[in-house]
Each structure stands twice: as structure tokens, then as C-alpha cells.
């Protein structure tokens, strides 16, 4: 177990410091880094996972951390990392400022309170992020991996599965954190698909959000906010959002756009 040192877990940042080295090493190794020369860790805290990333050959490790106290700890304990510590908010960060247009993998023990926002940012950066993985609240991790037809299948399930292949790796109990969260955590990884879906991301995102915004209604009613073309018909309109795969969403939304022309 790792000494927590001087860094206090801050509730407003959603910090729960991982203290089990075995779990940290497993998380560090779940995300495939084949062909990736840089990896960025979000919220490294005191570096319990960072040290395993630094030990990986042929990969340059960077970290992004909003907590100044954690940054000071990392600078004091990981000299080889000091020039690659980004003290900023990942949700506001522009990857071009550091990596240009170069690809990088993204990993982390993600704060529960912003984990969904992090995933949306990953989707925005998908052309630069071929691999992504780490720890979420278990419920969120399961939701991302959920298949069509399940109650947990939702907006991020569709969007992530349209662009990435997802794998739920393992569950982590609260006891390996300080302070322990009230729920289990889940580790997953995502590998970008070789072919993008044949649709603009903005259109897919808008359509999927509209569909799940009224998930109990049929898509004929839920998608009214998209101003369906007059007289537009499609077999999927009689279904509900949770019944459509990402491929079917692409098919339906493209058909709606074609109906406008």
C-alpha cells in the first residue's frame, strides 16, 4: 500500500486516491498502447498508476492534473516527469497545445463527478485518441458497454460504440481507495475502430441526444425536435431509442437528412 503523503483528497474534485499498487498496475496495463508513442494520464494524484506507465518502454508518459497539491507532490517524487506535468483542467485543455495533431492514448482513475464529461471530450478528440481506458464508477462503466435493449443503454453507449470497441475489464471494490467511495468502481478500455461511421458526429450526437431525451416515447415522437421532413416514414420510428444499435441510429439519421433534400 502507498503512503498518502501530504496530499489531501478534496471532495469538490471528486478525489479518491487509489492505494493498491496491484490494482494500479492492472489499470495501467488494460489500455492497448500498440503503435502509440504518447500516453496522457488524467488526474494522477500521487502517481500510484503513473509509475507503471513510466516503466513502459517506448511510450512517453504525460499527466494532466488540476490539483496544485498533487502537482507539487508529483514534481517532488517523479523528477523524470516534471517537464510533462500539465497543471490544468482536462475539460478545458486543447491537445494541440501540447501534441499538435499527434495521436496519444488517454488513461486515468477518473473523478466520478466529471467522468461522463471526460468521455464526451474523448469523443470530441477521437481522431487523436486511438485508445482510452481507466476506472469509472461501476455503473457508468457498465452503461458505456451496455448493449441495445438494456435499461442502462444510453447516449454515451451509442456514441462510444459507434467509434470505439469497448471492453469491461474488471470491478474494483471501495476498500482500495482513500477515502473509500460508497460504490464499486469498474475498469474498461476502448480501442478506436478502423472505420468511422458514415455520418457527421454532430448530427449523430444531436439525434441520439434527442432520442434518449424522451426514451420512453417512440422515435417518431422523440425525434420531433429534429423537425422531421414532412411525410417522412421509416421502420425505426416505431421503436424506442434503447432498441436501436449505433448502426441503426446512423441509418435512421442519414435517412432523415436524405429526406430533407
Report pLDDT for 21.
Answer: 92
64/83 Cα distance (integer angstroms) = 12
Domain boundary among 192, 222, 250: 192
Name residues whose C-beta falls within 8 Å of residue 181's C-beta, 6 or more positions apart in sequence.
Answer: 16, 112, 137, 174
Q: Is 217 part of a structural domain of the chain?
A: yes
Domain of 255, CATH number, reads 1.10.8.100
User: Is 33 in contact with 59 (CB distance < 8 Å)?
Assistant: yes
The domain tally of the chain equals: 2
Residues 174 and 233 in one domain: no
User: In this model, does residue 124 exceed pLDDT 70?
Assistant: yes
Instruction: Please report which confidence band the pLDDT of residue 14 belongs to, taking 50, 70 and 90 as the band edges.
Output: very low
Query: How many other CB atoms sit within 10 Å of the CB of residue 91?
Result: 12
Dihedral of CA atoms 207, 210, 211, 215 in degrees, nearest 10, equals 160
Residues 32 and 63 in one domain: yes
The residue segments making up the domain with residue 122 are 11-192
Instruction: Please report which confidence band the pLDDT of residue 180 belongs to, taking 50, 70 and 90 as the band edges.
Output: confident
Q: Are strands 60-64 and 38-42 parallel, antiparallel or unpaired?
A: parallel
Q: Is 4 part of a structural domain of the chain?
A: no
User: In this model, does residue 249 exceed pLDDT 50?
Assistant: yes
CA angle 43, 45, 182 (to 5 degrees): 85
Residues 32 and 122 in one domain: yes
| Integer angstrom CA distances of residue 147 from 35, 143, 161, 218, 245 | 29, 9, 9, 19, 8
208/53 Cα distance (integer angstroms) = 35
5: left (phi over 0), alpha (psi -120 to 50) or beta: left
What is the sign, positive or negative, of the torsion defined by CA atoms of 84, 86, 91, 94? negative
Q: Is 79 part of a structural domain of the chain?
A: yes
Residues 103 and 181 in one domain: yes
Instruction: Please report which confidence band the pLDDT of residue 3 belongs to, taking 50, 70 and 90 as the band edges.
Output: very low
155/171 Cα distance (integer angstroms) = 23
Q: Is 61 part of a structural domain of the chain?
A: yes
Report pLDDT for 173.
Answer: 94
Q: Is 5 part of a structural domain of the chain?
A: no
User: In this model, does residue 1 exceed pLDDT 50?
Assistant: no
137/16 Cα distance (integer angstroms) = 11
| pLDDT per residue as tens digits for the range 61-115 | 999 998 888 899 999 999 999 899 999 999 999 999 999 999 999 999 998 889 9
Residues 122 and 208 in one domain: no
Residues 132 and 212 in one domain: no
Domain boundary among 167, 192, 217: 192
User: In this model, does residue 4 exceed pLDDT 80?
Assistant: no
Q: What's the whole-number average pLDDT of the chain?
A: 92
Residues 54 and 127 in one domain: yes
Q: Is 3 part of a structural domain of the chain?
A: no
206/35 Cα distance (integer angstroms) = 32
Domain boundary among 148, 170, 192: 192
160/155 Cα distance (integer angstroms) = 9
> Mean per-residue pLDDT for 147-174?
97
150/154 Cα distance (integer angstroms) = 9
| pLDDT per residue as tens digits for the range 219-246 | 999 999 999 999 999 999 999 999 999 9
Residues 154 and 101 in one domain: yes
Query: How many other CB atoms sit within 10 Å of the CB of residue 195?
Result: 7
Residues 94 and 151 in one domain: yes
Report pLDDT for 247.
Answer: 98
Report pLDDT for 5.
Answer: 58
Report pLDDT for 12.
Answer: 61
Report pLDDT for 15.
Answer: 53
Residues 152 and 180 in one domain: yes
Best CA proximity match to 69, nearest among 22, 12, 19: 12
Domain of 186, CATH number, reads 3.40.50.150
**Which residue shows C-alpha cell 446512423?**
250
Residues 176 and 208 in one domain: no
Amino acid at each position: 500500500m502507498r503512503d498518502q503523503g501530504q496530499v489531501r483528497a478534496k471532495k469538490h474534485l471528486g478525489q479518491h486516491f487509489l492505494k493498491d499498487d496491484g490494482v494500479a498496475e492492472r489499470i495501467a496495463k488494460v489500455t492497448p498502447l500498440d503503435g502509440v508513442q504518447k500516453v496522457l494520464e488524467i488526474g494522477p494524484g500521487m502517481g500510484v498508476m503513473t509509475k507503471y506507465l513510466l516503466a513502459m518502454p517506448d511510450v512517453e508518459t504525460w499527466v494532466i492534473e488540476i490539483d496544485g497539491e498533487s502537482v507539487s507532490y508529483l514534481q517532488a517524487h517523479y523528477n523524470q516527469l516534471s517537464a510533462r506535468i500539465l497543471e490544468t483542467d482536462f475539460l478545458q485543455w486543447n491537445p494541440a497545445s501540447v501534441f499538435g495533431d499527434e495521436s496519444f492514448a488517454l488513461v486515468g482513475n477518473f473523478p466520478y463527478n466529471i467522468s461522463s464529461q471526460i468521455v464526451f471530450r474523448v469523443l470530441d478528440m477521437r481522431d487523436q485518441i486511438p485508445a482510452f481506458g481507466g476506472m469509472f464508477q461501476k455503473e457508468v462503466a457498465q452503461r458505456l458497454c451496455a448493449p441495445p435493449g438494456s435499461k442502462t443503454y444510453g447516449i454515451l453507449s451509442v456514441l462510444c460504440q459507434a467509434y470505439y470497441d469497448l471492453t469491461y475489464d474488471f470491478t474494483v471494490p471501495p476498500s482500495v481507495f482513500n477515502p473509500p467511495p460508497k460504490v464499486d468502481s469498474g475498469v474498461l478500455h476502448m480501442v478506436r475502430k478502423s472505420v468511422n461511421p458514415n455520418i457527421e458526429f454532430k448530427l449523430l450526437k444531436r439525434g441520439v441526444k434527442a432520442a434518449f431525451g424522451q426514451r420512453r416515447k417512440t422515435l417518431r415522437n422523440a425525434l420531433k425536435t429534429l423537425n422531421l421532413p414532412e411525410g417522412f416514414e421509416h421502420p425505426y420510428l416505431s421503436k424506442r431509442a434503447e432498441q436501436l444499435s449505433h448502426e441503426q441510429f446512423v441509418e435512421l439519421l442519414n435517412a432523415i437528412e436524405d429526406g430533407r433534400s
